[in-house]
Amino acid sequence: MAIRHLDRLLTEGVRGDRVFVRADLNVPLDAGEVADDTRLTASLPTLRDLLDAGARVVVASHLGRPKGRRVPELSLRPVAARLSQLLGMDVAFCEDCVGDRAKAAVEKLGDGEVLVLENLRFHDGEERNDPKFAEALASLADVYVNDAFGTAHRAHASTVGMVSFVPRVAAGRLLASELEHLRVVLEPVRPLMVILGGAKVSDKLAVLEALAPHADILAIGGAMAYTFMAAHGTPIGKSLVEPDRFADALAVEQAVRDAGRTLLLPTDHVVAPRLEAGPPLRRSGEPGEHHLLERPDGRFRNRCILGGNPDRRDRGSRGRRGQRGRWRRFAGGHQPVEAGRSDHPHVDRRRRFARVRAGPRTARRDRVGSDSRRIAPAVMTGAKPMRRPILAANWKMHKTNAEAIDFAEAFVPLVAGADVDVVIAAPFTLLDRLGPKLAGSGIALAAQNVNPNESGAFTGEIAPAMLVDVGCRYAIVGHSERRALYGETDEVVSQKAVALLAHDIRPIVCVGETLEQRDAGAALSVVAQQLRGSLSEIPTTRAAEVVVAYEPVWAIGTGRTATPQIAQEVHESVRAVLSDLFGSTGAEIRIQYGGSVKPETVYDLMAQPDIDGALVGGASLDPEAFSRIVRFDREGAK
């Protein structure tokens, strides 16, 4: 289900409502004053929109780590004072965040006024996600807005616990924007270079294991690199090293090699007798073969660079100069930021870099690891996990080039700004002409089939590399019509899916039962068997890139649509099989419903917890009808 955005709340109206905004006001203080108000400034768009709408805004945040004790030096009072200056209005402050004082302060608020509560972490119930503390926070709210990207992954009372007690929830401007920026990582433009550093391999191990097979180039810097070097017996002097992580480091290197990717370790070092500023520095080692990454003009070929605090030891002035120089080299001379993609819709075109501004740990944990510290479900419509909806058009054997171009010109403006992934699967003859018409719109091009072979004497067939050449990012495999009319087996579907992933094309793998199989009570077992056969060779490290489409054969082209309950029953069963096959990664795989989906039926289907999208046939041939399906959330809200 789509993230519930602030605009939805504003459309519904919030005048007079107590809107609890969980913000990230964890700013540095110096002599009782805010030393850096960057995070405060980032929260202003959400606060201003709510205040302009007449809401009674209650702002809550943590500051530092008081560990459940009242620490005067970590009070949010200076933050409230600075926020008052930034907003250009009085900002009230309460010396507690729960209890009688907090309730009284909230009651005094008028429409369009704002109150900052005292540090949430002065109470140990915040970090323990204590139900009573969560309920006490919720008693101050009619509406909940999460705008704290840096802490949204934490299962705390203000990010998770209180949400079940508040009837209306949404994501603030900052949180929604940062989640959108994460698509830079989820769907990178290749070549993709990942730069990671820090002190310890143990701190980044889950990230390394997850990214090693996906990054075209994995560059490891900081003190962490010395564990990798020492694992090979390279002398590292007195540098920080983790001998108990040698095996993990070697395993990461092996994963990179197995995936045919490149690993870079530092070959040119700055050496000093100790870390403190002042000791004499000298250079050690010769410049490495970094020129292999460069174009003739000296700029790097990588179109997408993800950086995660690459050199924590570079925080001294001399180190920072070196770090800035390296990033500028990667960025083509421009000032670096944390993640970049030259054609991403949120990119500063001058700098050619997008940015994940706050909470890099949230960004990492959102995609890596299977614990509870993920983006809180509080910003979702309902309790669905955060899987981005995907609506795909399957044109089958329809449209000429002229008709396809007319469709694109009409359709693209209708879905501009839609908070879903949109895919159009067109006949092979249309792909080369349709691609340019979709460029820059965020709409992905897909093929309806593929041959798993790289090349050869296969008359009339299309290889994966050919799809890459025309810009395809998805391809449908295993459609019921292919299975029924051309005898495609689960084994063939599996081969196609693996071949597509090898070329970084996401397979949409179709499964579904016939009417006879459903009437015989075999629907779930048939679908499970197809899933296991079709996904048997997919490695767990790539499984999240697969999309599964459940299409009941008896509903395709018949005008019959499975009820939302029937569809959900099968999708839930599919989810269980995916979890059995891929463990926790199975929860990340998106499952579409396909079977006579229409604008009138899509909203109720998408409301189901395990339905993440739709594979649309006949209704996708008309730009207006398909745009209504893509905008299911807006249509359903009317």
**Is 361 within a domain?**
no
CA distance 547 to 549: 7
Buried b (16+ CB within 10 A) or exposed e, 497-517: bbbbbebbbbbbbbbbbbeeb
**Is 385 within a domain?**
no
Mean pLDDT of all residues belonging to the chain: 81
Residues 312 and 403 in one domain: no
**Is 571 within a domain?**
yes
Please answer whether residues 418 and 630 qualify as being in contact, where contact means their C-beta atoms are separated by less than 8 angstroms: yes
Please answer whether residues 443 and 391 qualify as being in contact, where contact means their C-beta atoms are separated by less than 8 angstroms: no
Lowest model confidence (mean pLDDT) among 67-76, 91-100, 276-285, 308-317: 308-317
| Residue 398: pLDDT band with limits 50, 70, 90 | very high
Please answer whether residues 615 and 508 qualify as being in contact, where contact means their C-beta atoms are separated by less than 8 angstroms: yes
CA distance 96 to 70: 10
Residues 279 and 412 in one domain: no
Lowest model confidence (mean pLDDT) among 221-235, 500-514, 617-631: 221-235
- Give the pLDDT confidence score for residue 167 in this predicted structure: 82
Buried b (16+ CB within 10 A) or exposed e, 136-170: bbbbbbbbbbbbbbbbbbbebbbbbbbbeebebbb
What percent of the chain is modeled with pLDDT above 90? 48
Task: Find the CATH number of the domain harbouring 259.
Answer: 3.40.50
- Give long-range contacts, CB 8 A cutoff, 24+ apart: 485-490: 489/533, 490/529, 490/530, 490/532, 490/533, 490/534, 490/536
Residues 534 and 592 in one domain: yes
What percent of the chain is modeled with pLDDT above 70? 78
Q: Is the pLDDT of residue 407 over 70?
A: yes
- Taking residues 35-45, what's their average pLDDT? 92
The residue whose two tokens read 């008709």 is 403
By annotation, the residues acting in catalysis are 479, 551
Please answer whether residues 541 and 213 qualify as being in contact, where contact means their C-beta atoms are separated by less than 8 angstroms: yes
Buried b (16+ CB within 10 A) or exposed e, 46-80: bbbbbbebebbbbbbbbbeebeeeeeeebbbebbb
Instruction: Classify residue 551 by its DSSP letter.
Output: -
- Give the pLDDT confidence score for residue 314 in this predicted structure: 43
- Give the pLDDT confidence score for residue 1 in this predicted structure: 39
- Taking residues 455-461, what's their average pLDDT? 95
Number of domains into which the chain is organized: 3
527's tokens = 């679908």
Residues 329 and 410 in one domain: no
Q: Read off φ and ψ for residue 272, nearest 5 degrees.
A: -145, 155
Residues 159 and 254 in one domain: no
- Give the pLDDT confidence score for residue 587 in this predicted structure: 86
Quick one: which H or E segment has residue 473?
strand 472-477
Q: Is the pLDDT of residue 592 over 90?
A: yes
Residue 195 CB partners (closer than 8 Å, separation 6+): 219, 220, 221, 305, 306, 307, 308, 310, 330
- Give the pLDDT confidence score for residue 410 in this predicted structure: 96
Residues 532 and 582 in one domain: yes
Task: Find the CATH number of the domain harbouring 524.
Answer: 3.20.20.70
CA angle 371, 23, 103 (to 5 degrees): 110
- CB-based burial of residue 534 (10 Å sphere; 0-12 exposed, 13-18 middle, 19+ buried)? buried
CA distance 566 to 573: 11
- Give the pLDDT confidence score for residue 562 in this predicted structure: 79
Residue 365, SS3?
A: helix
**Is 373 within a domain?**
no
Q: Read off φ and ψ for residue 233, nearest 5 degrees.
A: 85, 10
CA distance 74 to 22: 17
- Between 265 and 306, the higher pLDDT residue: 265
- Give the pLDDT confidence score for residue 635 in this predicted structure: 46
- Give the pLDDT confidence score for residue 357 in this predicted structure: 43
Q: In the chain, count of helices (H) and strands (E)?
A: 23, 23
- CB-based burial of residue 555 (10 Å sphere; 0-12 exposed, 13-18 middle, 19+ buried)? buried
| Residue 406: pLDDT band with limits 50, 70, 90 | very high
Provide the residue range defining the domain that includes 125: 6-172
CA distance 568 to 323: 50
Q: Read off φ and ψ for residue 579, nearest 5 degrees.
A: -65, -35
Q: Is the pLDDT of residue 212 over 90?
A: no
What count of residues does the chain have? 638
Buried b (16+ CB within 10 A) or exposed e, 379-407: bbbeebebbbbbbbbbbbeebeeeebbeb
In the chain, the N- to C-terminal Cα span, in Å, equals 17
Q: Which of 355, 374, 406 lies at the terminal end of a domain, its last residue? A: 355
- Give the pLDDT confidence score for residue 584 in this predicted structure: 79
- Give the pLDDT confidence score for residue 388 in this predicted structure: 86
Residues 108 and 156 in one domain: yes
**Is 374 within a domain?**
no
Residue 64 CB partners (closer than 8 Å, separation 6+): 26, 71, 74, 119, 121
Residue 22, SS3?
A: strand
- Give the pLDDT confidence score for residue 151 in this predicted structure: 80
Please answer whether residues 191 and 216 qualify as being in contact, where contact means their C-beta atoms are separated by less than 8 angstroms: yes
Residues 228 and 306 in one domain: yes
Lowest model confidence (mean pLDDT) among 123-127, 314-318, 395-399: 314-318
Lowest model confidence (mean pLDDT) among 236-250, 466-480, 490-504, 521-535: 236-250
- Give the pLDDT confidence score for residue 29 in this predicted structure: 92
CA distance 273 to 349: 43
CA distance 47 to 57: 7
Q: Which of 355, 373, 398 lies at the terminal end of a domain, its last residue? A: 355
345's tokens = 């819709």
- Give the pLDDT confidence score for residue 201 in this predicted structure: 77
pLDDT digits (tens, 9 = 90+) for 296-340: 333 334 556 666 554 444 444 444 444 445 544 444 433 333 333
The residue whose two tokens read 């006490």 is 136
Which of the residue ranges 209-213, 302-306, 602-606 has the most confident prediction, judged by mean pLDDT? 602-606
Residues 194 and 161 in one domain: no
- Between 606 and 380, the higher pLDDT residue: 606
Residues 416 and 351 in one domain: no
- Taking residues 415-439, what's their average pLDDT? 92
Quick one: which H or E segment has residue 321?
helix 317-330
pLDDT digits (tens, 9 = 90+) for 483-537: 999 999 999 999 999 999 999 999 999 999 998 898 888 999 999 999 999 998 9
Task: Find the CATH number of the domain harbouring 72.
Answer: 3.40.50.1260
pLDDT digits (tens, 9 = 90+) for 353-364: 444 444 444 444
Please answer whether residues 116 and 79 qualify as being in contact, where contact means their C-beta atoms are separated by less than 8 angstroms: yes
Please answer whether residues 447 and 469 qualify as being in contact, where contact means their C-beta atoms are separated by less than 8 angstroms: no
143's tokens = 């509406």
CA distance 561 to 600: 11
Q: Read off φ and ψ for residue 332, nearest 5 degrees.
A: 75, 30
| Residue 153: pLDDT band with limits 50, 70, 90 | low
- Between 247 and 547, the higher pLDDT residue: 547
545's tokens = 């890139």
Please answer whether residues 603 and 572 qualify as being in contact, where contact means their C-beta atoms are separated by less than 8 angstroms: no
Q: Is the pLDDT of residue 118 over 90?
A: yes
**Is 317 within a domain?**
yes
Nearest residue to 58 via CA among 90, 26, 93: 93
**Is 75 within a domain?**
yes
Residues 502 and 400 in one domain: yes
- Give the pLDDT confidence score for residue 284 in this predicted structure: 58
Nearest residue to 120 via CA among 47, 59, 185: 59
**Is 372 within a domain?**
no
Residues 113 and 239 in one domain: no
Q: Which of 340, 355, 370 lies at the terminal end of a domain, its last residue? A: 355
